[in-house]
Structure 1
């Protein structure tokens, strides 16, 4: 008998009266990722939804390419491309009602744009500005979250508060597979399940947390299986099948809105580009792996399905691509304008009522800026000089 057994702190089996609180079987995800394309479900997919998904995916692919180019031109500090993950991004935005909230991670710029946020404002944070770039309340989109998984507890808190107030609101929180290794992930899912908060957690499993493969993060059969431990349903979906992702997320949103509580959705996808423009992905994965996933490209899959059903022709493809190019041109032109910055803005939005120390620092900076301006103007300038500067 071990020391713990002697102290009564360890029981090898539960007491006779113990019964599981919930039957785990209905919570378990499917053995294989859910798919629409290539199955009998494909013909039932809504044509208008497929066309809208296609237009947004093409625009998203072009947005990724243009933003990546802007980093090379020094117009963006960093850009985490979501090329290859466009189906997850777009579907996440399109399943939400206007009153719902989206909680994105730093890679989810396409979801933010598809939600209606200005493409330039979406990149403001990644440009190096301390502000979010957009008004979260106007668009019901939380700030892009750079720390891993910290947006998840925020999503739960907002959804729980909305439910207490009687508001018919659902929060959809997006996170990568690396974020599931963070404590915030556990805390968010645990609270959401206990409170039955109307939250949908979308895990985009793109294979790597920067350079760490999923196999070195977890031994679980899938990330969707983690849902069972918290007492919520887990869903597994092909993340490159836009129709399947939209259907699974729409089901989860309806379930949450009806009072059924949270759902964890794992979308199996792939990050075709490097983690960011500062990453060298060739150091931890081979070209053959990338090429294999390019054969399961979300844009090509959807285009093939639309063509098969007679819902897409050359004219429509050309029109969608023209719209995407127009968006990219506008993004490029506006990002090439230098922002007008006022150092005095540093003191705004720090406290509701500025502290004496902050007021002192503000006046100190104001004096320094005035002195610098006077120094740059040089002696004998202005009306006192009585002449024109040459």
Structure 2
């Protein structure tokens, strides 16, 4: 990579190149443009990033097991994408706001979302998991790509109010083919919205490979919208942190949006309802395992003189406690009362919702009457 491949911000003008600061074997690569954005990240800071990634992978493993045991209706695993999520989320300020898809459990972890709040929507106990205002992160968006528009609108509003806070929209490679994402890119570029579009290219949009929907690196799409794009090794937490800090700095200075393509890999299924063996090979999976974001960071820490064995033991114990808390949280999530499905649908009451509420109440009453009749018949028989 040469200096001519970058513009004045340090972002790539040729996003087919790959920004990487830590190799898969844990070697630190010097990069004069990106290094200065992570000059403060010492061994202690890297250890904290390792802790984050290790804990969220353990939580992800536990949640997947809970789904297999019937405790959750569904779970979208994040294994393999920890560096992309942790590296970007740890670049944020408290007053920034995050809009995610359904896989960003690690981002929610960084924003202070608790174990029970992570699980409620997947257990079917609530329409959403947490109060967005308390954590600075919207609840997971199931509609593919819709959150990109929400992030753009929030960013435009923040700019109009004179704030230098920014928003981040997380989406996958498949979402870049959706109209919502492209409309959001148009709006953001037109109004210089302080938003970072963070695409986790995990190679598979459910069962379709990314090469089927895009003949060019996804970061190149930024050119058509008039914004910078950067293609970064999404399994390199340090490179992701640097790229996100650059993009957020641009946003705060009023220079508009940035598109980041974090090249990573989904090690598990799209969701627990998916069987990835039907569309990808064992050799492909094995190759990507050699690029694991957690093991490479541990290798880097070892080369810096950190006691890796002690760190692994300490983090494994903490991850185990977090997993136990997650499992215990499942049993404490209460089943919702049926009529609460109408709560928080609209900000103000309206006749349309009231009519639906009345119809549903009468429908539920039918079952109460049937139960009462059955009880009466049983008592008479005795």
TM-score (ref. length: structure 2): 0.87
Q: Which has the higher helix share?
A: 2
The aligned counterpart of 2:191 is: 195
The aligned counterpart of 1:32 is: 17
Classify 1:285/1:370 alpha carbon distance in 2 versus 1 (closer, same or farther; 3 Å).
closer
Indicate the SS of the match to 2:245. Answer: helix
| Contact 1:29 1:233 (C-alpha < 8 Å) held by counterparts | no
Gaps of at least 5 residues in structure 2 are 1-6
CA distance in 2, matches of 1:185, 1:357: 31
CA distance in 2, matches of 1:261, 1:318: 43
Gaps of at least 5 residues in structure 1 are 1-21, 382-389
Alignment of 1:101-120 (within 5 A): 101-120=97-116
The aligned counterpart of 1:155 is: 151
1:73 equivalent in alignment to 2:57? no
CA distance in 2, matches of 1:55, 1:135: 26
CA distance in 1, matches of 2:362, 2:204: 50
Residue 75 of structure 1 and its aligned partner are, at CA, apart by 1.4
2:292 pairs, out of 294, 297, 300, with 297
CA distance in 1, matches of 2:266, 2:152: 27
CA distance in 2, matches of 1:256, 1:361: 44
Classify 1:26/1:357 alpha carbon distance in 2 versus 1 (closer, same or farther; 3 Å).
closer
CA distance in 1, matches of 2:201, 2:166: 22
| Contact 2:16 2:220 (C-alpha < 8 Å) held by counterparts | no
Greater RCO, CA 8 A, separation 6+: 2
| Contact 1:155 1:173 (C-alpha < 8 Å) held by counterparts | yes
Alignment of 1:63-102 (within 5 A): 63-102=59-98
Classify 1:361/1:191 alpha carbon distance in 2 versus 1 (closer, same or farther; 3 Å).
closer
The aligned counterpart of 2:272 is: 277
CA distance in 2, matches of 1:30, 1:83: 25
Alignment of 1:123-134 (within 5 A): 123-134=119-130
CA distance in 2, matches of 1:352, 1:184: 24
The aligned counterpart of 2:211 is: 215
Alignment of 1:363-374 (within 5 A): 363=358, 365-366=360-361, 372-373=367-368
1:329 equivalent in alignment to 2:324? yes
| Contact 2:126 2:336 (C-alpha < 8 Å) held by counterparts | no
* RMSD (Å) for aligned C-alpha atoms: 2.5
TM-score (ref. length: structure 1): 0.85
Residue 314 of structure 1 and its aligned partner are, at CA, apart by 2.0
CA distance in 2, matches of 1:95, 1:148: 24
| Contact 2:15 2:220 (C-alpha < 8 Å) held by counterparts | no
Indicate the SS of the match to 1:261. Answer: coil
